[in-house]
Each structure stands twice: as C-alpha cells, then as structure tokens.
Amino acid sequence: MPVTHLAGALCHPTDCTLRTSISQPIATRFNEYSSVSYPRDLGRVQVAERWRRIKECNYVPVKVANTRADLGESLVWDERSGVLYFVDISGGRINGLTPDGEVDCLYESAARIGALALTDRGNLIFTEDASVAIFDVPARKVSQHSASVHPRSTYRFNDGACDPQGRFVTGLMDEALSGNTGALFRFDWQLSDQVIHDDMALPTGLAWSQDGHTVYFVDSAARAIYRAEYLIEGRLGAVTLFAETPAELGRPDGLALDRDGGLWVCQYHGSCLLRYDRHGHLTDQVLMPVPCPTSCCFGGPGMNTLYISTARYDMTPEDLHHYPDAGDLYAIRPEIGGVARYSFKE
C-alpha cells in the first residue's frame, strides 16, 4: 500500500480495539472491567486497578509493508522525500519504504545496524556495532565513520535520535547481558563521542520534548522510562523516573512524542503500544497483532500517522506459524499527531 495513500485505510476512531486470533485481527470491545486479550504466548491478563483510568483504545493497526524484518528498529520519517527509513539490526540493513509502497534496501553490512536518524543534508547517520557512520543517500555509500567506542564484540549501539542542537545520541548495550554496563553516548559533527549517562543495562528509545528542554529515554531491562532536563551543552540534569511499565506487558522499547506531550512506547513481548500523558499517567493502549513491536515514529501528511516496526527475532517455527506477519510494518492514526524529530547537523 503506498505510504501516501494510507489515510483512507488507517484507523478511523471506533469503539473497539484489536484482539488477535492466530494472525487475524478481530475487533472487540475494551472497557475498564474487561479482560485484555493478547497473543497466545502471553495468555489472558485481568485488568488491574492501575488500568481503570485508561480510556478505550480506538485504533486498529494497519499493515503497511511486508518487510519480515528479523529485528526491525529505528523508524525515521523523511518529510522531504516521503520515505520511511528503518533498520533490521540483526540483518545489517538500512531500508526505505518509498511513497509508492516499495521496500528499498539502501545499505547492507555484516555488522549490526542499531540506530538511524536524518541529517540536515538529507543523509542518514547510523550505528554499526559500536561505531557511528554517515550514509550518503544519493551516492549510496558511507562517507564518514567513527572509531569503535568499545573493544568487545558483544557491545553495540541500540536505538538513537538527534538532540535539538543537531548532535546524535545513542545507547550502548552489551548483548552478553553483563549488567549495567550500558551508556548513552553523544556524537558531534566530527563524530567525536562523549558519555552523557551511564549505569544502564539495555538503553533503547529516546525522544525530546517539543521545546527541547526535556529528554526521555528507556532502559528496557529495568522496564523504566526516565526523564531528565537536557542542557544546551548536551548534558543531562537530574534524572527522574517518568514511568515504570507494567510487568505483564513485556518491556518498553521505542518512543514517539505527540503534540500534546504524550509519549507513545512500544512494548516488546507485550504485543501492544502504550501512551503516557506528560505527567507519566497511562492513558491509552493499542493492541498489536504480533508479539514484538519495537519502534514507532510519527510521519505522513501533517505528521498524523504513527508508524510501528516489529520483530521476529528469536521466535520459534511454532511462533511464526501463529504470527507470520511478525517483522512487518504497521501504522495507526491517533487523535493527536506527532512532532518532527531533530536532524543531525553535518
């Protein structure tokens, strides 16, 4: 389905939410006294007291591309070209969903490509294992590359985004799960790096408030979304807990911010997206037809569409039989649109 023609198909508000049965979406009423249906590996979870204030979720995810990514991540919308970029981390690919609905592989690497962002020249800054590089989109080649920030091969950068000053921030993690050895790194136009926050286990999503004064970031292993003042020189002020996501709904992953200051978060192994208001109160839940949503970003005309990447990483043949669409791209049309992300200044 062409990206530019999604409006007619996407998620007109209804009084139902998505329940999954094998791979088929089924509309079902959701209210504060109902139980919530998830993919079969998660079972049924009774709505706890903390869910009582969540309003009905009125969006049914629509599949926009059959990408079958092993570990789809780091969605980026390019308003100038109308291309939706994303990576497949374990597949080592940078892909683009074109306006006519074609999936184009722009770059392929033997390394793990974890994070992606636009530059002010229409290129892409991305991570390869524990280093950062600039990809020249017209030339389709890497034009600049940093040194690796860690000697061990199990370490790699995960998600990332650009700050209001045009610097790239990305989280380093250890796939060997060595504890809180991860950190947030900031890269300038020369691709020089500096650690701005450490003592993290699994850094994932990053997002800045519309005024640029606040940064939100995720430690997936801690099931925590943190908030901090972001100083103009690229340092963090006091870090506080913004929200701890429910244990029965997997772990938080990618983030996207809407125009009301609401924060959308993908729940990996939770088969859903959650929305928190600017005060950290849980307001919405969108159920997904696959178990592992990974990343989300606003895009499309008026920044009114929320795109969602998913994964099939580590799923068994039986899992894939039940969820053959795992790894594909989806979208919803929330009531409140999003804000554009910052670009890297080359």
Q: Which fold has domain 62-330?
A: Neuraminidase (2.120.10)
First vs last C-alpha separation in the chain: 33
Give the Cα separation of 167 and 187 in Å (integer): 6
Q: What is the pLDDT of residue 110?
A: 96
Q: What is the pLDDT of residue 277?
A: 95
What amino acid positions are annotated as catalytic residues?
253
- Provide φ and ψ at 303, rounded to 5°: 55, 40
112 is in an annotated binding site: no
DSSP conformational letter for 339: -
Run of H or E residues at 203: strand 203-208
For the chain, 346 residues long, the average pLDDT of each consecutive 10-residue run is: 46 34 29 33 38 59 96 97 97 96 96 97 98 98 97 97 98 95 98 98 97 97 98 96 94 98 97 95 93 98 97 96 97 95 97
Q: Is 129 helix (H, G, I), strand (E, B) or coil?
A: coil
Give the Cα separation of 250 and 26 in Å (integer): 22
Q: What is the pLDDT of residue 59?
A: 82
304 is in an annotated binding site: no
Give the Cα separation of 332 and 3 in Å (integer): 12
Residues 6+ positions from 133 with CB-CB distance below 8 Å: 125, 126, 127, 142, 144, 145, 146, 191
Give the Cα separation of 320 and 311 in Å (integer): 11
Give the Cα separation of 93 and 267 in Å (integer): 23
The closest of 221, 240, 131 to 176, measured between CA atoms, is 221
Give the Cα separation of 83 and 4 in Å (integer): 10
79: tokens are 């308003």
Q: What is the pLDDT of residue 4?
A: 40
The closest of 287, 298, 288, 286 to 326, measured between CA atoms, is 288
123 is in an annotated binding site: no
Give the Cα separation of 157 and 97 in Å (integer): 23
Give the Cα separation of 290 and 97 in Å (integer): 20
Q: Helices (H) and strands (E) in the chain — how many of each?
A: 1, 28
Residues 6+ positions from 290 with CB-CB distance below 8 Å: 20, 39, 271, 310, 323, 325, 326, 327, 328
Burial of 118 (0-12, 13-18, 19+ CB in 10 A): buried
Q: Cβ of 111: how many Cβ atoms within 10 Å?
A: 15
Give the Cα separation of 265 and 260 in Å (integer): 15
Q: What is the pLDDT of residue 40?
A: 36
Amino acid, single-letter form, for residue 196? I
158 is in an annotated binding site: yes
